[in-house]
Structure 1
Amino acid sequence: MKPLQDLEHARILVVDDEPVVAESTAAILRELGHDVTVAHRWTDALRAFDPLATDLVLMDAVMPNMDGLKLTRLLREQSQSYVPTVFLTGLRTAEIRAQCANAGADDFLTKPVDALELCVRVKAMLRIRALTRALEDKTRELERTARTDPLTGVGNRRVFDERLVAEVARSRRHGRPLALLMFDLDHFKQINDRHGHLVGDDLLSLFGTILREGLRASDLPCRYGGEEFLLIAPETTGERARAVAERIRLEYRARTAVRGTVGPQTVSVGISASDVLEVELSERSLLAAADEALYRAKALGRDRVELGSRPNDAEV
């Protein structure tokens, strides 16, 4: 977000089909130190509008082909943040002003534009822009915090539950592969008992870092509870998930070996995947199969990866 003082050099879009009027307005704004783009047609305005970077729009209310009222609605649909809009109009009737307000006008200026009045209105609108962006950023940060495990930096149980429902539905609808990896840090309770919770927290934080590294944007690592982690891997077969799990398993052992306090540590992994699942794909069946595979990994000595089997594999 731009700090308030940075909006003294804001990016402003001026939309007016009269070139002389548009350039006159733009010249005043440039003298104030702003970065100004001028568009004479609605198509040019759509191309020039940056959903992230545009700070203010000065819009001619009446233009051919598409008036400013309709164009404002289009720009608002594109915008990823609240961008104030000031309408420029030579019409002074209450009806026109009401239409502009309904279309999303934040203020009005009567043409020909007075330089001092323009300066005052622009400063007021940019102040609104800065305060709105600050509120939006704060809201996003609160939402991110509510969905992130604070110790490990991965997603929490809430975001896992939401994402798993969505990915299972997508996999079933399109017939695309989906894998779920369940990790459990071996002998973690003993580490806490012998070395204290600070050491345990350090291991949890390290494993969260390893999970976040080298994953695709579509993958979602989460802390499921205690020393147990889950990784949702869309577009991933069981064998591909096994390779990912092996990489993470070896990385955890290698990095804990040089950590110093407790020496090399291990992790056990259970995997379920839509292409090897023995029952109909659902959130419950995917979790149950991953849990069963993890239990098998623990029973077979820990520090290993186990993948759920196809029905004919189980019969062998």
Structure 2
Amino acid sequence: MNTRLIYLLEDNQDDVYLVKELLSQQGGKHKYAINAFETIESLRDAIAQLNPEVILMDLNLPQSRGLETLLRVKDFAAHIPIIVLTGMSDEMFGEKAIQLGAQDYLPKHELSAHLLRRTIAFSKERFDMQRNLENLVSLDRLTMLSNRGALDKHLHTQVQDARRYGKQFAMLFIDLDNFKTINDELGHQAGDQLLKLLATKLKMYKRSSDFVARYGGDEFVVIAPNIDNPAQLELFTRYKHTLLADSYCLQDQQGNMHEVTLDLSIGAVLFPDHGDGPTALLNCADKTMYEAKAQSLPFLLAEATRHSA
């Protein structure tokens, strides 16, 4: 029998006991392991170590009340389905919770073992289905990296978070210098193969917090949190260039093997030093990449002057 890990955010010990008691009753194809937390901070710390399958949460805590609690939890747990447990039976309130990202809501006075197990199962299934559909829309079909639309969305969120918490992050804009030559001489099949090999390297050799996307054609973007000074940025950029500017074995249209050496240019920028908004930062990274290409440099760091959004 499978065991489902559930995190419960609840400061009322009677309600914690009730949920644990209901989910411990026999029935269904799953067992449940419930970890209870009294504060948002303790829940955040636990999720940083291990993700649960579902979060059950009360909205009224000593440090946060109502729908604001849901927003605070969603800020670090948007990748986990959330079910709101409420002492209110107001359907309008429940609809607002769902509009703000909860999968479902349950009035506490209506709780039963069957209803709670069924809601957990349906919420998890619905959430996973939504995520799979979003992934299909947000992936580049050739490289299976995030596409331009997903990049725009992630960059917007990254900028918002950086502003809120006073943090910096880095962005690399990568362009393949001799890709057209490879395409012309070996054919588009070889070009596609090279893009896939490059994407595989970008996915394999990245930190868990990094975001990698195909910007379009032979251009790629890397967003790297927790890089906050030029020395770190240069070290990170140099590593990426050394990793990618390598020899690759490709097949031409006749099936013959060719070893090609890839040349590329990288423009590297920091938020907010080189742009205090998504558009400004992306434009600066693109401009810096072209400056590196024009100067025949492997990479170039943008000058430390702020640009407006």
SS in 2 for 1:151: coil
C-alpha change, 1:53 and 1:135, in structure 2 (3 Å) is closer
Closer, same or farther: CA 187–174 of 1 in aligned 2, 3 Å = same
TM-superposed CA distance for 1:194, in Å, is: 2.1
Deviations 1:22-44 (A, max 9, x none): 9xx98x94498874789xxx98x
What whole-Å deviation, never above 9, does each CA across 1:96-126 have from its counterpart, x for those lacking one? x999xx98369979xxxxxxxxxxx967875
Matching of residue 197 in structure 1 with residue 188 in structure 2: yes
Gaps of 5+ in 2: 57-68, 95-104, 252-256
Q: Which residue of 2 aligns with 1:297?
A: 292
Q: Kindly tell me the number of residue pairs found equivalent between the two proteins.
A: 264
1:238 to 200, 205, 230: 230
* Mapped contact 2:266–2:299 kept (Cα < 8 A): yes
Q: Cα deviations across residues 34-78 of structure 1 (Å, max 9, x unaligned)?
A: 74789xxx98xxx9xx9945799xxxxxxxxxxxxxxxxx99x98
Per the alignment, residue 147 of structure 2 pairs with 156
Aligned amino acid, residue 263 of structure 1 = V
SS of 1:218's equivalent in the other structure is coil
Give the drift of 1:174.
Answer: 5.2
Paired residues for 1:21-170 under 5 Å: 29-30=25-26, 35=31, 52=52, 80-81=80-81, 104=106, 129-170=120-161
One of 245, 250, 253 as aligned partner of 2:242: 250
Q: Which residue of 1 aligns with 2:264?
A: 267
Report the aligned-residue RMSD: 5.3
Deviates more, 1:220-229 or 1:126-135: 126-135
Scaled by the length of structure 2, what TM-score is found?
A: 0.60
Structure 1 residue 183 and structure 2 residue 181: aligned? no
The answer (yes or no) to whether the contact 1:55–1:126 under 8 Å persists in 2 is no
Q: Is the 8 A contact 1:55 1:129 kept in 2?
A: no
SS at match of 1:138: helix
Structure 1 unpaired stretches of 5+ = 57-73, 86-96, 110-120, 312-316
SS in 1 for 2:205: coil
Equivalent residue, structure 1, for 2:66: none
Question: What is the aligned-residue identity percentage?
Answer: 27
| Contact map agreement 1:84 1:128 (CA 8 A) in 2 | no
- Change in CA separation of 1:130 and 1:241 when aligned onto 2, cut-off 3 Å: same
Question: Larger % of strand: which?
Answer: 2
Give 1:181 deviation, angstroms: 0.9
**Displacement of 1:148:** 2.4
**Aligned letter for 1:176?**
K
1:307 is the counterpart of 2:301? yes
Distance 1:201 1:82 in 2: 40
2:237 and 2:266 in contact (8 A); partners too = yes
The answer to whether the 8 A contact 1:222-1:231 is kept is yes
Q: 1:207 to 1:237 in 2, by over 3 A?
A: farther
Q: 1:211 aligns with which of 202, 210, 232?
A: 202
CA distance in 2, matches of 1:171, 1:55: 25
Contact 2:2 2:29 in 1 (8 A): no
SS of the residue 2:260 aligns to = coil
Q: CA deviation at 1:301?
A: 2.8
Secondary structure in structure 2 of the residue aligned to 1:263: strand
| Structure 1 SS opposite 2:145 | coil
1:226, CA displacement in angstroms? 0.7
Distance change in 2, residues 1:128/1:291 (3 Å): closer
Corresponding residue number in structure 2 for 1:281: 276
Give the deviation of 1:294 after TM superposition: 1.2
SS at match of 2:269: strand
Is the Cα–Cα contact under 8 Å of residues 274 and 281 in structure 1 kept in the other structure? yes
Structure 1 residues 257 and 108: CA distance shift in structure 2, 3 A:
closer
Q: Distance in 1 between matches of 2:176 and 2:183?
A: 12
